[in-house]
Amino acid sequence: MPSSASRAAPQPLYKQIADTVAKMIHDGVLRPGERTPSLRAICDQHGVSMSTAVQAFVELESSGLVEPRHKSGFFVKFPPQALFDLPGPPRVPMSGSLGNRHASLFDAVVSANVIALGGAVPSPDILPTVKLNRMLAEKARHAGARGVMYDLPPGSELLRRQISKRMLKGGAVVAPADIITTCGATEALMLCLRAVTKPGDVVAVESPIYFGILHVLEALSLRALEIPTDSQHGLRLDVLERVLKTQPVHACIALPAFSNPLGAAMSDDAKQRLVALLKKYQIPLIEDDVFGELPFGPKRARTCKSYDDSGLVLFCSSFSKTLAPGYRVGWVVPGRYYHAVRMAKLTHTLATATLPELAIAGFLAEGGYDHWLRSVRTIYKENVARMRRAILEEFPAGTTVTTPQGGFLLWVTMPPKVDAIALYDRALAKGISIAPGHLFSLEPRYTHCIRISCGEPWSPRLAAAIHTLGALAHRQIK
């Protein structure tokens, strides 16, 4: 079957086969979740060798159309961003069942008896616990009066100097005086929203989006406008642009580096375009970079902040995913909103705890952080790969899993018949906590999705948990 494109070199055989299968998918002959013709069937049908058939499927997989499943062949993927295009009207998040589930996720994290796959929390086994605690002990012994006194905003200069150096690795030239320390990125995010919005304002967010952000919007009486987000490339700029032309948006929150829950990474080009687009409309961009230091590759990507020439980007991050969640040390670079964020910090918590700040500053000053990050990135990469493989093996046919290039979160899209809340309830009864997709949107878009955290090194215990989850999901589609 030669290609019909005139004069063009005929496509290689494997491409032609891939195109044929792709057409079947696009035409709906093969539907999401269904098994594709087997390799053997392809060989017979097209009269090609097994290696050509395999090549065709590699092509289909890399274009995101099919998904290999261990010992079961290939299946048609669910296209995640096909679920919606233009967002509906902005909505104020509603508490209630969402709130209760949010709280119970955290209960699971702290419960020793529950396998906590629901919270995006790193396992202490992975963190440099001993070294950090030793640093804190040393700072406490030598800090004297300073240790017990307020470290009022903007917070420890020692720490801000270290953060300034780190931000340079993301391409942003930020002076220590531009930084305000916070009680983690959670507080940073809230301070930013307090600085740039008022009740009733519309905030554009990714979709699916970390439920904590929906709660913060709710707490501040803001309306969320969910922008479709590609599981590989992040926030859909084309959609955002269309939205900005037609309705007021007062702020935008993006997680360009390994979004939560998708693990998507925006390209440098896309980040630059996002910053330029929002500048055009004079809309502040709140950049949440908590996973930014955790790429699977050797080098962290540039930040949106690095493209900010107008002070409209408010950059938020923390050490909670990389060093010590319990120290509650984060920071914000508020750009032109510095004064408002500082005032908000004073009314919010007055100050960040002094000695944890000094301990983190000491840890960073000692120079071991990059070395440490390299090793932890390898661990997370391995965790994610093994968890991903296990899910694809254990979950019902048609299940797809994101392929993040950093962080430690997986977004699992199951066949539409599976209800994530039912799965959540049944899993919890068996001592396993997951984050049901319902939490990640104000619309019922992700009711067959779950977020799985890979913050803990792979183990038989985790393998058994995934086996159990898979069996529970299977039971729902019988």
Contact status: 134 vs its own copies (CB under 8 A)? yes
Nearer of residues 33 and 325 to its own copies, judged by Cβ: 325
C-alpha angle 241-247-248 in degrees, rounded to nearest 5? 100
**Binding segment toward its own copies, per CB under 8 A, in 39-47, 77-85, 99-107, 244-252:** 99-107
| One-letter identity of residue 26 | H
**Binding segment toward its own copies, per CB under 8 A, in 22-30, 98-106, 252-260, 391-399:** 98-106
Nearer of residues 50 and 149 to its own copies, judged by Cβ: 149
CA distance 309 to 216: 27
Nearer of residues 48 and 92 to its own copies, judged by Cβ: 92
Distances 457 to 111, 378, 384, 452 between C-alpha atoms, Å: 18, 11, 9, 13
> Minimum distance from CB of 256 to its own copies (Å)?
22
- The strand ranges marked E within 292-347 are 313-318, 330-333
The DSSP annotation for 160-205 comes to HHHHHHHHHHTT----GGG-EEESHHHHHHHHHHHHH--TT-EEEE
Output the CA torsion 57→60→62→64 (10° steps): -130
- Give 331's strand partners: 181, 317
CA distance 188 to 305: 15
Alpha carbon of residue 123 to chain centroid: 17
Among 251, 312, 355, 435, indicate the residue that binds its own copies (CB under 8 A): 355
Contact status: 389 vs its own copies (CB under 8 A)? no
Among 127, 159, 257, 450, indicate the residue that binds its own copies (CB under 8 A): 127
**Binding segment toward its own copies, per CB under 8 A, in 38-46, 65-73, 140-148, 442-450:** 140-148
CA distance 38 to 25: 15
How many CB atoms are located within 10 Å of the residue 375 CB? 11
Map the footprint of its own copies across residues 285-344, applying CB under 8 A: 320, 323-328, 339, 342-344
Nearer of residues 153 and 261 to its own copies, judged by Cβ: 153
Contact status: 219 vs its own copies (CB under 8 A)? yes
**Binding segment toward its own copies, per CB under 8 A, in 234-242, 345-353, 373-381, 469-477:** 345-353
Contact status: 41 vs its own copies (CB under 8 A)? no
CB of 359 closer than 8 Å to CB of 430:
no
Contact status: 411 vs its own copies (CB under 8 A)? no
> Minimum distance from CB of 30 to its own copies (Å)?
44
Contact status: 99 vs its own copies (CB under 8 A)? yes
**Binding segment toward its own copies, per CB under 8 A, in 15-23, 55-63, 126-134, 437-445:** 126-134
For residue 187 the two structure tokens come to 């507080």
CA distance 65 to 80: 11
Nearer of residues 151 and 206 to its own copies, judged by Cβ: 151
Among 47, 89, 199, 444, indicate the residue that binds its own copies (CB under 8 A): 199
CA distance 242 to 245: 5
Among 56, 76, 121, 172, indicate the residue that binds its own copies (CB under 8 A): 121
Contact status: 215 vs its own copies (CB under 8 A)? yes
**Binding segment toward its own copies, per CB under 8 A, in 139-147, 164-172, 301-309, 409-417:** 139-147
Among 46, 194, 250, 279, indicate the residue that binds its own copies (CB under 8 A): 194
Contact status: 449 vs its own copies (CB under 8 A)? no
> Minimum distance from CB of 356 to its own copies (Å)?
5
CA distance 52 to 15: 9
Please list, in sequence order, all residues whose beta carbon lies within 8 angstroms of the beta carbon of residue 387, skipping any fewer than 6 positions away.
410, 452, 454, 458, 462, 466
Contact status: 117 vs its own copies (CB under 8 A)? no
218: left (phi > 0), else alpha (psi -120 to 50), else beta?
alpha
Nearer of residues 318 and 399 to its own copies, judged by Cβ: 318
User: Count of residues binding its own copies (CB under 8 A)?
Assistant: 69
Among 10, 12, 88, 124, indicate the residue that binds its own copies (CB under 8 A): 124
The DSSP annotation for 108-148 comes to HHH-TTSEE-SS----TTTS-HHHHHHHHHHHHHHHTHHHH
CB of 326 closer than 8 Å to CB of 110:
no
Three-state secondary structure of 341-386 = HHHHHHHHCCCCCHHHHHHHHHHHHCCCHHHHHHHHHHHHHHHHHH
Contact status: 103 vs its own copies (CB under 8 A)? yes
Please state whether beta strands 409-413 and 202-207 pair in parallel, antiparallel, or not at all (unpaired): unpaired
Among 36, 162, 164, 186, indicate the residue that binds its own copies (CB under 8 A): 186
**Binding segment toward its own copies, per CB under 8 A, in 44-52, 128-136, 267-275, 305-313:** 128-136
Rg (CA), the chain: 24
| 3-state class (DSSP) for residue 73 | strand
Contact status: 150 vs its own copies (CB under 8 A)? yes
Contact set with its own copies (CB under 8 A): 95, 99, 102-103, 106, 109-110, 121, 124-125, 127, 129-130, 132-134, 136-138, 140-141, 143-153, 183-184, 186-187, 190, 194, 198-199, 212, 215-216, 218-219, 221, 320, 323-328, 339, 342-344, 346-356, 359
